[in-house]
């Protein structure tokens, strides 16, 4: 599974100069800092969830490189269709950390006003489409958006993320077929993290890989080391350039590993071997990029300490702000559906507001404020 993958930087930090992307030292450092921020987001949010301060969280430890490296390639007007494990892509697209934390808290600052499950990030300013919990629904949406861009003669692309479990759904195959037939400028990024909750990849498909499935739909499929951020960047860049040039879609299978639980409600020790986890821990994407940066003279312990201190302070400020924020107003149940609210919905809103006001002093569970 982990052999014969395209990679530039190995687990021990050795790298192939022939394939190194032309990224500046500042870009490489920023890329590394984003990986660290995603890892620290996991650590903080899981602690907050265990403390009962947030209700739910979906970690992505071990998968940071494929999120950051792929999103790094995109331009402002491109579109991203994430699953629920892409905070790194959201950060790269410009979604502020405090916005991500607000979504997890589901408070009045949250742009979705608490209507979505935590870790289901969306941001219109970043062209980052809010995902749904059902597996693979975002894939046909991405293809439709890409086809629309193609019809309008735009040079933009759609990048869609999904797990290996999503490749067993009808949505995946329908979307792949449409993308191939209509030459959609869409990049399919399969995060093959070996587990669809508790189902191992070996039970997901009889095919040796996900990438080979692209052949049936008439476009390119590639398998890469999803823990090598430079390999992810390079492969996605090639796919994006082809899509912009009218050469159609690409399926990228980024082979990685979900180091933690599927979500804060999951206990992975019940279905997978600890030895497997430890083996993948040796391939940590953050450690790998750190070794590469050190070899390039771009990393030292002092810089790392300052970086983590800065990120920690950013987290502390974001969490403090979110915990002081009020819950979404009760009126938010009725807003953001119509440009002009119909009379009957307005009438219901006014009645609900009146009842909520009446019960406010009673701390009514029926009408929380």
Active site residues: 258, 262, 271
Long-range (24+ apart) CB contacts under 8 A made by 353-361 are: 356/330
Identify whether the C-beta of residue 52 lies closer than 8 Å to the C-beta of residue 78: no
3-state secondary structure 68-89: HHHHCCCCCCCEEECCCCCHHH
Written as six digits, the tokens of 312 are 């920690």
Count of C-beta atoms within a 10 Å radius of residue 336: 11
DSSP 6: B
Which residues on neighbouring strands pair with residue 128, listed in sequence order? 80, 123
E strands, the chain, are 79-81, 158-163, 186-192, 195-196, 199-200, 220-225, 250-255
DSSP 102: H
């Amino acid at each position: 599974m982990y052999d014969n993958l395209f990679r530039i930087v190995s687990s021990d930090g050795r790298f192939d100069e022939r394939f190194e992307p032309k990224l500046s030292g500042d870009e490489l450092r920023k890329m590394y800092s984003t990986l660290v921020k995603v890892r620290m987001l996991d650590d903080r949010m899981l602690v907050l969830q265990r403390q009962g301060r947030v209700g739910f969280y979906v970690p992505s430890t071990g998968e940071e490189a494929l999120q950051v490296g792929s999103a790094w390639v995109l331009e402002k007007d491109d579109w991203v269709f994430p699953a629920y494990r892409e905070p790194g892509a959201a950060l790269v697209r410009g979604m502020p950390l405090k916005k991500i934390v607000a979504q997890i808290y589901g408070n009045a600052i949250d742009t979705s006003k608490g209507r979505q499950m935590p870790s289901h990030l969306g941001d219109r300013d970043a062209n980052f489409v809010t995902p749904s919990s059902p597996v693979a629904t975002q894939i046909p949406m991405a293809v439709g958006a890409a086809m629309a861009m193609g019809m309008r003669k735009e040079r933009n692309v759609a990048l869609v993320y999904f797990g290996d479990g999503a490749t067993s759904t009808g949505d995946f195959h329908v979307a792949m077929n449409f993308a191939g037939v209509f030459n959609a400028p869409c990049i399919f990024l399969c995060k093959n993290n070996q587990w669809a909750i508790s189902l191992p990849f070996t039970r997901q498909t009889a095919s040796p890989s996900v990438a080979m499935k692209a052949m049936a739909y008439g476009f390119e499929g590639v398998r890469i080391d999803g823990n090598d951020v430079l390999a992810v960047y390079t492969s996605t860049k090639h796919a994006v350039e082809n899509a912009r040039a009218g050469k159609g879609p690409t399926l990228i299978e980024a082979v990685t590993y979900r180091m933690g639980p599927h979500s804060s409600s999951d206990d992975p020790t019940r279905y997978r071997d600890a030895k497997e986890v430890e083996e993948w821990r040796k391939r940590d994407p953050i450690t790998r990029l750190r070794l590469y940066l050190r070899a390039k003279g771009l990393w030292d312990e002092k810089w790392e300490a300052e970086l983590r201190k800065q990120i920690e302070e950013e987290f502390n400020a974001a969490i403090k702000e979110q915990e002081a924020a009020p819950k979404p107003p009760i009126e938010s149940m009725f807003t953001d559906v119509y440009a002009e609210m119909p009379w009957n919905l307005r009438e219901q809103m006014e009645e609900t507001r009146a009842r909520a006001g009446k019960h406010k002093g009673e701390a009514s569970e029926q009408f929380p404020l």
